[in-house]
Amino acid sequence: MSDRTWTLTVHGGSGRFERGIIPAEADAGARAGLGRALDAGSAVLAAGGTAVDAVQAAIEVLEDDPHFNAGRGAALSGEGRIELDAAIMDGRAREAGSVAQVTTPRHPIALARAVMDEGTHVMLAGPGAEAFAAARGVEAADAGWFELPERRRQLEELLARGNDAFDVDMKYG
Amino acid sequence: TVGAVARDANGHVAAATSTGGVTGKRWGRIGDSPLIGAGTWADDACAVSATGAGEYFVRVGAGRTIAARVKMLGESIGTATDAVLGEIVALGGTGGLIVVAPSGETAWRFSTPGMYRATASAEGARVVAIY
């Protein structure tokens, strides 16, 4: 690879599809979202930015895109709540940041990055992570931003069928 | 679950993963995404982001193991990812991973019928795929 080259790869979840195919709108929407994530991360890299800034930029696009199970459009827990997890790691010095069971940051990856940049800890969870987010001024969103009617329907369907909660992303992706 | 891995113009790599978990998950259940070394990892060997049945990626230590195989066995990221996903499948898990090396080599592997994935490079390569 030449000195000035870069590369970016993203994923939006894996799994099986109901009846083996994705509905056309979901297919087109997901592909468009992946393309926007590539555009956001590639813009950082093409301008000489760092890999860690690029992956954060790409993920924030996908967290805002309702076609994916993260941020807006996230799956609902058995209690009907949205609890988000995220992690980021920089290979240069193995710096890492991680948050679990957070409910307020619009971009959980931005909170994980704030944990990494603050440098004391690697992982914060639950109310402590929320308090850290507030203290660092990480942008918050209310539950209505994250929850989609389709996700509520999927949860109700799953519970009505008595299925266990263990499900690969895309079955209800 | 969504993820990204990148290699910048200075040859450094990074990984990021974000998720809502799984529909109907038990209260308090955490999967592999936020666990450094499982669903998210980056060091000077490679950067990894995973998606799928998280408990299996945790038990295998997926991201860290791929990097260790590259560093200690001299495997390519593709070979190392095949081996680690093979361990996951052998335990009964399913899912996928995206990986990038400081050389700029990239790899993705998945054991499910599909994985939303896309890649781009300075050379102008650009792929968006699902199946």
Taking only the tens place, the pLDDT of each residue in A60-113 is 999 999 999 999 999 999 999 999 999 999 999 999 999 999 999 999 999 999
Q: How confident is the model at residue A23 (pLDDT cuts 50, 70, 90)?
A: confident
Over residues A16-26, the mean pLDDT reads: 71
Q: Does A141 touch chain B (CB under 8 A)?
A: no
Conformation bin of residue B119: beta by default, left when phi > 0, alpha when psi is -120 to 50: beta
- Alpha-carbon distance of A77 to A151, in angstroms, equals 10
What is the residue-averaged pLDDT of chain A?
91
Rounded to a whole number, what is the distance in Å from the CA of A146 to chain B's nearest CA?
A: 10
Over residues A131-143, the mean pLDDT reads: 97
Asked if the model's pLDDT at residue B114 lies above 60, the reply is yes
Over residues A118-137, the mean pLDDT reads: 97
Is A55 in Cβ contact with B14 (below 8 Å)? yes
> Residue B29's Cα: distance from chain center in Å?
20
Which pLDDT value is given to residue A165? 52
Q: What is the largest CA-CA distance in chain B?
A: 45
Encode pLDDT of B86-106 as tens digits. 999 999 999 999 999 999 999
- Alpha-carbon distance of A100 to A59, in angstroms, equals 16
**Amino acid at position B22, single letter:** V
Asked if the model's pLDDT at residue A170 lies above 90, the reply is no
Encode pLDDT of B12-59 as tens digits. 999 999 999 999 999 999 999 999 999 999 999 999 999 999 999 999
Residues 6+ apart with CB under 8 A from A23: none
Minimum CA–CA partner of A7 in chain B? B121
Is A99 in Cβ contact with B2 (below 8 Å)? no
Asked if the model's pLDDT at residue B125 lies above 70, the reply is yes
Using DSSP's 3-state secondary structure scheme, residue B7 falls into strand
Which pLDDT value is given to residue A1? 44
Q: Which residues 45-104 of A have a C-beta within 8 angstroms of B? A: 45-46, 48-52, 54-56, 58-59, 62-63, 68-71, 73-79, 82-92, 94, 96, 98-101
Closest in A5, A11, A78 to B24, CB measured: A78
Which pLDDT value is given to residue B131? 85
Which pLDDT value is given to residue A169? 46
Is A54 in Cβ contact with B4 (below 8 Å)? yes
B1 classed as catalytic: yes
User: Which two three-digit tokens encode residue B131?
Assistant: 């199946």
- Alpha-carbon distance of A126 to A49, in angstroms, equals 31
Beta-strand ranges (E) seen in chain B are: 2-7, 13-19, 40-42, 47-52, 95-100, 106-110, 114-121, 126-129
Is A14 in Cβ contact with B96 (below 8 Å)? yes
User: Taking Cα atoms as reference points, which of B79, B73, B69 lies closest to residue B43?
Assistant: B69
Asked if the model's pLDDT at residue A136 lies above 80, the reply is yes
To which H or E segment does residue A15 belong? strand A7-15
- Alpha-carbon distance of B34 to B105, in angstroms, equals 24
- Alpha-carbon distance of B42 to A164, in angstroms, equals 33
Handedness of CA A131, A134, A137, A141 (dihedral sign): positive
Q: Distance of CA A77 to CAs A73, A158, B25, B53, B62, Å?
A: 13, 11, 5, 15, 24
CB neighbours of residue A93 within 10 Å? 9
CB contacts, 8 Å: B114 with chain A: 14-17, 22, 170
